[in-house]
Amino acid sequence: MILTTSNGDTPGYLELQDGSIFRGKLFGSRESTDGEVVFNTGMVGYVESLTDPSYRGQILTFTYPLIGNYGVCDRELFESGNVQVKGAVVSSLSEQCSHWEAVSSLDEFLGNEGITGIEGVDTRALTKHLRQKGTMLGRIVREDDDIGPFNVEDPSLKDLVSEVSPDKVRVTKGEGARIALIDCGAKRSIERSLLERGCSVINVPYDHPFTDLEYDGVLISNGPGDPMMCRKTIANVKRLMEMDDPPPMAGICLGNQIMALAAGGSTYKLPFGHRSQNQPCKDLVTGRCVITSQNHGYAVETSSLPDGWREWYRNLNDSTVEGIRHETLPFMAVQFHPEASPGPTDASGFFDTFLEVVSNDR
């Protein structure tokens, strides 16, 4: 289907915390907005990124020059029920989109979702600036808005996980292992990956006490914000880890950080994060390298890992920790996204490795 949209002419600008200004034209809802400005270098997958709960509170810059050319497909393919970003920044917004499953243009879609984008921005210059200075707060402003001095709330100081986690338990039955998925803002593709492997998925809120569940293993999902804000989840995971006969446990992205914190480790904020589909990571056990999809702004401090824990995966670009594993207990986690969506599926075997541990423990 070929869809055409008129981008209109609503001048505006992106203002960063350090006073830098990047001018362009607004699209989508065309209203002023603010958040933490980050960038993603992926060539495809803008719909998955826009609906990824890990982007909660952020203004997402796409470095690929042309965005919107295949439109927006049905919501069943989204990574959550709605758009999670506070805003979008693109160089060139395609006025015409073509895809056999497209139901709307990106402009129309963001407008219906109440999300503002800005196009015509020199995203190469913006990305270079963020790489040199680090991610920072920013706001997208209509040229005719009088919104006063820069005063943007830092989303990392908020408990963002509570905003994207479900408020009740939901069970999707399968014939295999029963996996309790601690939903801190889980991408739908994580649940799909488990269901494709025959699992029963017990989707639980981030603060669930695990007092009335029957399960074979626990998986802690991705999610937004500073992991230190996830105090209830950390406390619950710590309690599970310290059981006499602890269940097999795994973590993805934020889940990796939560497991490290629950074990007694520490995390820190990266200068500009890893948000891309081409991050090389080395398995320090096998020596195998996988190309991974990533979306995180925090990492585990290697030296903080307590006795019994070891680094499992390492990023070959900057040597940051990309996975941890316990030497004797059934605990493992990765910082990247083995479910991809978008991105390569090199690391999808993580689910099989975890489920093998679960099977052996049953």
Predicted local confidence at residue 4, as pLDDT: 59
Pair (149, 167) in one structural domain:
no
State whether 137 and 197 are in the same domain. no
Residue 221 lies in a domain: yes
106: left (phi over 0), alpha (psi -120 to 50) or beta: alpha
Are residues 314 and 352 located together in one domain of the fold?
Answer: yes
Domain identity same for 17 and 130: yes
Asked whether residue 4 is domain-assigned, the answer is no
The residues pairing with 170 across neighbouring beta strands, listed in sequence order, are 203
- Low-confidence winner among 84-88, 129-133, 149-153, 219-223 (lowest mean pLDDT): 149-153
Kindly state whether residues 94 and 207 are assigned to the same domain: no
CA distance 10 to 149: 21
CATH number at residue 217: 3.40.50.880
Tell whether 5 is covered by a domain: no
Which residue type, as a one-letter code, is found at position 5? T
**Residue 194 belongs to what domain range?**
160-361
Domain boundary among the residues 105, 127, 155 is at 155
Predicted confidence at residue 95, as pLDDT, reads 87
- Is 81 part of a structural domain of the chain? yes
pLDDT at 145 over 60: yes
Confidence of residue 5 (pLDDT cuts 50, 70, 90): low
Q: Is residue 260 domain-shared with residue 349, that is, in the same domain?
A: yes
Burial class (CB in 10 A: 0-12, 13-18, 19+), 287: exposed
pLDDT at 211 over 90: no
What is the pLDDT at residue 7? 54
CA distances (Å), origin 104, targets 1, 60, 136, 234, 245: 9, 20, 31, 40, 51
* Per-residue model confidence as pLDDT tens digits over 254-282: 999 999 999 999 999 999 999 999 999 99
Instruction: For residues 228 and 349, state if they share a domain.
Output: yes
97 and 171 fall within a common domain: no
Residue 254 tokens read as: 């934020």
Domain count, the chain: 2
Q: Are 141 and 12 in contact (CB under 8 A)?
A: yes
Over residues 178-189, mean pLDDT: 99
Residue 3 lies in a domain: no
Domain boundary among 108, 134, 155: 155
Q: Answer whether residue 59 is part of any domain.
A: yes
Mean per-residue pLDDT, 76-93: 96
Q: Are strands 217-220 and 249-252 parallel, antiparallel or unpaired?
A: parallel
pTM confidence score = 0.96
pLDDT in tens, 47-60: 999 999 999 999 99
Q: Which range (160-164, 212-216, 313-317) has the least confidence? A: 212-216
Nearest to 184 by CA among 202, 166, 211: 166
Does residue 1 form part of some domain? no
Known catalytic residues are 253, 337, 339
Span 154-173, average pLDDT: 97
